[in-house]
Structure 1
Amino acid sequence: MEHGPGTYGDLNADVYDDWHAAHDPADAVRGLVELVGEAPPGPVFELAVGTGRVTIPLAARGVDVRGVDASEAMVARMRAKPGGARIPVVIGDMADVDPGTDERFAVVFVVFSTFFFLTTQEEQVRCFANAARRLLPGGLFVLETPMPDVARYVRDQTLETHQVGLDRVRLVAVRHDPVAQRLDGHHVLITGDGIRLAPAFMRYAWPTELDLMARLAGLDRAYRWGGWQREPFRGEGNYVTVYRKPTADS
């Protein structure tokens, strides 16, 4: 099997919500609603909607939201949830920022660590450029990303235990390539029924690198916070960066 944009979602759709239940999206939803209020009037576009953990509650809050995801299996899970079937979603590569129409957006956003699932610098730069092209003047490109923590890798590898039960063990094994800034990992679920592997390949970027991608795309950094409650950025954990597309007279 070759790894592609939809691989992670296709192999994890049935367990994704359970595995990430501890990561409550409520703060992200509240923070995004506040940012929508600061943006020009217009629709909102999510990159990698997944199972709709953010998309559906945003729509329930009255936000005109649509999105893209590379995995048909993940989108099917979203559409099976209450309210999910009403949200327009196209199947495609999030780096293309392509809603299937000529629309432009007040906000384009990607949450959790999903931006880093673009596994090359070229893809990440292309995503910034396409987001900028799709934004209205004054529109916002919002990213939630984890601060790279390379100290956790001993001899450029790590093995962590995420769950231990009477009938299951879930591990995460990762190899680190410091030159390519790559993390090639597997979620490993061991049960009485056998072993299940779920690959998760990522390329991390440092905050200054994200800022440079934004500058190349013609975007200005408006905010960088340590989280969705706008706490100070301290260079650890998941953080939020907001880039703004200049208006014609700025």
Structure 2
Amino acid sequence: MALGNVHYDDKLASVYDQMYPIELDTPLAVDFIAGLAPAGGRVLELGVGNGRIALPLAGRGFQVYGIDGSQAMLAILRERDEKGQVTTIEGDFTETGTGLTFDVVTLVLNTFFVAATKEQQVACLRLVREQLVPDGKFVLEAFDPAPYHAMEKQELSIRHLDEGAVMLDTLTVDRAHQLMYGTHTIIDGGKPETKHHVLRYAFPFEIDLLAELAGLRLVDRWEDWERNPYTARSPRHVSVYERADAGA
């Protein structure tokens, strides 16, 4: 689940599920996405990672494809995918397409922001549009960046991974360019290694504008996978887009 600036190598891939302990969110996300696709339909996940969403969708009978830039994450997915149900492509989802069209394309868990320039984000959305069937839907989940945009100094946090390991995270925000600079350092008794990443965050209505430039339009926006209303206090959004020419 990474472009060139976010390195999910073997070390980070091995603790990814501990980094983002969102087991309760997964079935809700899968239900939401499945509800937008016809039975047996074709689904593409950008930043497919280790298969958290893709594998349950494949288990429901959908034809699932996934693009990801991390060999380590894709290796875990393939190990879990004992029946070979998910077709994976290693690549940058702002540049790499499948040559196919899909009923649903998904980009979840803030992965859109890994595209660290406005141009990359528009390129991603244009590829999404190209890979949607005429009445297909694109589902994007991302955090609302308002709290981070207000940050004035570097923040340090600690994540507990397991009984013998913790992760030290730092985060710095460049508000002028809407960039978040972060590091992950795992302390587990071995030699500590620090990985760096850059995210370009975008506000929901800015994403809508980028989507319009790419030939997409907003259909629905919710606070979460349970379809609670999106408000000014919502910490994240689940947004559904369609091709601008849908229904034409």
TM-score, normalised to structure 1, is 0.88
Query: Whole-Å Cα distance in 2 between the matches of residues 107 and 223 of structure 1?
Result: 14
Partner of 1:200: 197
SS in 1 for 2:36: helix
CA RMSD between the two structures: 2.4
Partner of 2:63: 64
SS in 2 for 1:8: coil
Partner of 1:133: 130
Query: Whole-Å Cα distance in 2 between the matches of residues 104 and 4 of structure 1?
Result: 22
Partner of 1:35: 36
Partner of 1:175: 172
Q: How does 1:1-250 map to 2 (within 5 A)?
A: 5=4, 7-10=6-9, 12-24=12-24, 25-37=26-38, 42-83=41-82, 85-99=84-98, 102-150=99-147, 154-163=151-160, 167-235=164-232, 236-247=234-245, 249-250=247-248
CA apart distance, 1:103: 1.3
CA apart distance, 1:23: 4.7
SS in 1 for 2:112: helix
CA apart distance, 1:165: 7.4
Aligned amino acid, residue 239 of structure 1: H
Work out whether residues 149 and 173 of structure 2, in 8 Å CA contact, stay in contact via their aligned partners in 1.
no
Aligned amino acid, residue 34 of structure 1: G
Query: Whole-Å Cα distance in 2 between the matches of residues 165 and 79 of structure 1?
Result: 24
CA apart distance, 1:22: 3.5
CA apart distance, 1:136: 1.1
SS in 2 for 1:88: strand
Query: Whole-Å Cα distance in 1 between the matches of residues 190 and 246 of structure 2?
Result: 60
TM-score, normalised to structure 2, is 0.89
Aligned amino acid, residue 66 of structure 1: Y
Percent identity between the two aligned chains: 34
Which region of structure 1 is more displaced relative to structure 2, 83-92 or 233-242?
A: 83-92
Change in Cα spacing, 1:26 to 1:8, as seen in structure 2 (3 Å) is: farther
Change in Cα spacing, 1:197 to 1:153, as seen in structure 2 (3 Å) is: farther
Query: Whole-Å Cα distance in 1 between the matches of residues 17 and 184 of structure 2?
Result: 14
Aligned amino acid, residue 48 of structure 2: V
Query: Whole-Å Cα distance in 1 between the matches of residues 83 and 4 of structure 2?
Result: 22
Structure 1: gaps spanning 5 or more residues: none
Change in Cα spacing, 1:234 to 1:191, as seen in structure 2 (3 Å) is: same
Structure 2: gaps spanning 5 or more residues: none
CA apart distance, 1:230: 0.8
Query: Whole-Å Cα distance in 2 between the matches of residues 86 and 117 of structure 1?
Result: 26
